């Protein structure tokens, strides 16, 4: 069978051989993932602005020592406003992607982003800024899931992990660029200190939008719509000419078989509510909670790095310098994860990094015992937070992007990833509120002690991951379908042999390529 042959050939390829054959797929995935770099840049601006003097003076209130602070309520309002917009964008992305495909959805997202940047750029008060953050959140929500879905659907098995986890690296690149930009603008005292940063947001969407017009559509989406001839052309555009038409035809046959296998006993394409049906509920639970773990394990504390460092006793300049170190260590961690995954797998990296984070957060908490005037303790806490960022991005951070794209069925992938990200953003609203109160000097002012709370949360997350998250390394989508259908326990996935081609499937409505 061509589908069986294509699966075996794909699984037998090394990452290097896959890269040579699917070079074009890597390039297109990289272009799409630059949307997340833009998201990271924009989100990084918002997180850092609360510690940015010119921004604080314009939108904050005096606190009595000659400085200004945004109230905890407005910190939450700006952050949560963006997340509300993201949730709206995610709903839009789920239905629009399933109806029209990845490429048109990405084009619409970037067109909206170009328009909405004008609002925060010209904002004269914090209420207008809030409206701008809500509207910008809509295209951010589109980018957050579409890039991951596209990466996993254009990549062969051995490149899936690298392309999906690169999404995490792109987010870190964006965050790093925003921090460097703001660090360079610290000495600017006028409103252009923050308006200049807002203007930089226009740098990203215009070239990405132009490229998207020429991008190939996801072949998996085309197969799900019964457009196998178009899927064949898409695969040809994603592979080298040296592969030949026969390889492309077999690859599409493999997709057809997988889609038909998932449709067995069901009718039509996936629908939003199908992810909650008995045959899908386990996969939905794992996908949603996997993404929520990324928030609940204490990553929110890492995302408030500049503000955390300031409240721990460092100057604004030193805090931004530490944030740059934080982002660089995150990037290094993601690159390290590319190599360590070969030995530890997705599941091993996920659990192991959570356990190390528990230890690191406990140590950071103890650094809060000396008074904030003790600069040695403040620098030590900052250094430990930077190392915690390295640990997070060598495990939890990138692995989550791989798992959430691999766990759902091809039939329900778009809706499941979108719903999981909605759960994540909803969780982030709660986490952001909690951290704002933990760190704000006008509220609880826990400083380093807040790390104790997140150590306990990370420990609970690690227990859930250990018992519920399966290993997906080197598994085809069809194999994962069979493993979930047979209700194999998570800890047995890597040891269980399955043959997705041992049963006949009904291919009615899904036309084979000849």
Residue 96: inside a domain = yes
Say if CB 204 and CB 487 are below 8 A apart: no
Say if CB 367 and CB 448 are below 8 A apart: yes
Domain that holds residue 118: 2-494
Closest listed residue to residue 179, CA positions, set 358, 386, 384, 22: 386
Instruction: Quote the tokens at residue 183.
Output: 């660090």
Rounded to the nearest angstrom, the gap between the alpha carbon of residue 166 and the centroid of all alpha carbons in its chain is 9
Tell me which of 131-135, 184-188, 210-214, 363-367 is least confident.
Answer: 184-188
Total tally of structural domains belonging to the chain: 1
Distance CA 26, CA 151 (A): 8
Residue 513: inside a domain = no
Residue 368: inside a domain = yes
pLDDT tens column, 272-289: 888 898 889 999 999 999
Longest dimension (CA), the chain: 76
pLDDT tens column, 425-437: 889 888 888 887 8
Residue 512: inside a domain = no
Percent of the chain residues topping a pLDDT of 90: 40
Placement of tokens 């915690």 in the chain: 388
**Range from 194-208, 294-308, 459-473 that averages highest in pLDDT:** 459-473
Which pLDDT belongs to residue 258? 85
Q: Inform me whether the pLDDT recorded for 419 exceeds 90.
A: yes
Helix (H, G, I), strand (E, B) or coil at 69: strand
Distance CA 476, CA 473 (A): 9
Which residues touch 94 (CB under 8 Å, ≥6 apart)?
Answer: 145, 272, 414, 415, 418, 419
Provide mean pLDDT across the span 491-497: 91
Which pLDDT belongs to residue 311? 67
Residue 443: inside a domain = yes
Q: Inform me whether the pLDDT recorded for 109 exceeds 90.
A: yes
**Burial (0-12, 13-18, 19+ Cβ within 10 Å), 389:** buried
Closest listed residue to residue 44, CA positions, set 383, 292, 319, 327: 327
pLDDT tens column, 393-405: 999 999 999 999 9
**Burial (0-12, 13-18, 19+ Cβ within 10 Å), 497:** exposed
Which pLDDT belongs to residue 381? 80
Task: List C-alpha distances in Å: 271 to 98, 105, 416, 424.
Answer: 9, 18, 10, 21
Instruction: Quote the tokens at residue 23.
Output: 């070079």
215: domain CATH number is: 1.20.1250.20
Q: Inform me whether the pLDDT recorded for 513 exceeds 50.
A: no
Residue 514: inside a domain = no
Instruction: Quote the tokens at residue 195.
Output: 């308006």
pTM for this one?
0.85
Say if CB 103 and CB 50 are below 8 A apart: no
Percent of the chain residues topping a pLDDT of 70: 93
Other CB atoms within 10 A of residue 241 CB: 8
pLDDT tens column, 164-205: 999 889 988 988 888 788 777 777 777 777 788 888 888 889
Residue 509: inside a domain = no
Q: Which band of pLDDT confidence, cut at 50, 70 and 90, is reported for residue 246?
A: confident
Distance CA 473, CA 437 (A): 40
Q: Inform me whether the pLDDT recorded for 62 exceeds 70.
A: yes
Q: What is the 8-class DSSP label of residue 494?
A: G
Which pLDDT belongs to residue 270? 62
Q: Kindly report the average pLDDT of the chain as a whole number.
A: 85
Residue 325: inside a domain = yes
């Amino acid at each position: 069978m061509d589908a069986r042959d294509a699966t075996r050939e794909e699984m037998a390829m090394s990452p290097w051989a896959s890269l040579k054959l699917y070079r074009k797929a890597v390039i297109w995935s990289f272009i799409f993932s630059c949307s997340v770099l833009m998201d990271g840049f924009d989100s990084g601006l918002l997180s850092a602005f609360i510690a940015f003097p010119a921004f604080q003076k314009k939108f904050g209130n005096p606190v009595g020592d000659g400085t200004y602070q945004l109230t905890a309520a407005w910190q939450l309002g700006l952050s949560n406003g963006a997340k509300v917009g993201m949730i709206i964008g995610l709903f839009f992305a789920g239905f629009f992607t399933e109806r029209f495909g990845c490429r048109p959805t990405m084009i619409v997202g970037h067109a909206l982003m170009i328009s909405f940047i004008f609002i925060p750029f010209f904002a004269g008060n914090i209420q207008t800024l809030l409206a701008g953050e809500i509207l910008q959140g809509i295209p951010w929500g589109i980018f957050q899931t579409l890039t991951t879905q596209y990466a996993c659907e254009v990549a062969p098995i051995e490149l899936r992990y690298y392309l999906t986890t690169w999404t995490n690296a792109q987010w870190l690149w964006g965050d790093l660029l925003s921090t460097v930009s703001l660090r360079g603008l610290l000495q600017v005292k006028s409103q252009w200190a923050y308006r200049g940063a807002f203007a930089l947001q226009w740098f990203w969407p215009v070239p990405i939008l132009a490229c998207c017009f020429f991008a190939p559509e996801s072949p998996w989406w085309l197969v799900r719509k019964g457009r196998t001839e178009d899927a064949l052309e898409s695969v040809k555009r994603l592979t080298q000419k040296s592969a030949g038409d026969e390889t492309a035809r077999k690859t599409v046959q493999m997709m057809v078989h997988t889609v038909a296998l998932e449709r067995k006993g069901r009718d039509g394409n996936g629908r939003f509510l199908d992810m909650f049906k008995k045959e899908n509920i386990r996969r939905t639970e794992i996908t949603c909670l996997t993404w929520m773990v990324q928030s609940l394990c204490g990553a929110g504390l890492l995302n408030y790095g500049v503000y955390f460092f300031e409240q721990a006793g460092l100057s604004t300049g030193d805090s931004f310098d530490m944030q740059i170190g934080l982002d660089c260590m995150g990037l290094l961690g993601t690159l390290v994860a590319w190599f360590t995954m070969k030995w530890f797998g997705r599941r091993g990296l996920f659990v192991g990094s959570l356990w190390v984070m528990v230890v690191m957060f406990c140590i950071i908490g103890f650094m809060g015992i000396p008074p904030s005037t003790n600069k040695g303790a403040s620098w030590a806490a900052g250094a430990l937070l930077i190392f915690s960022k390295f640990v997070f991005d060598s495990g939890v951070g990138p692995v989550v992007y791989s798992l959430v794209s691999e766990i759902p069925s091809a039939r329900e992938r778009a809706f499941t990833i979108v719903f999981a990200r909605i759960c994540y953003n909803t969780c982030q609203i709660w986490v952001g509120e909690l951290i704002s109160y933990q760190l704000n000097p006008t509220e609880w002012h826990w400083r380093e002690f807040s790390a104790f709370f997140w150590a306990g949360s990370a420990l609970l997350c690690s227990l859930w991951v250990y018992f519920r998250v399966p290993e997906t390394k080197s598994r085809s989508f069809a194999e994962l379908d069979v493993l979930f259908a047979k209700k194999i326990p998570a800890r047995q996935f890597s040891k269980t042999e399955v043959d997705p081609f041992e049963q006949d499937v009904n291919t009615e409505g899904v036309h084979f390529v000849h």
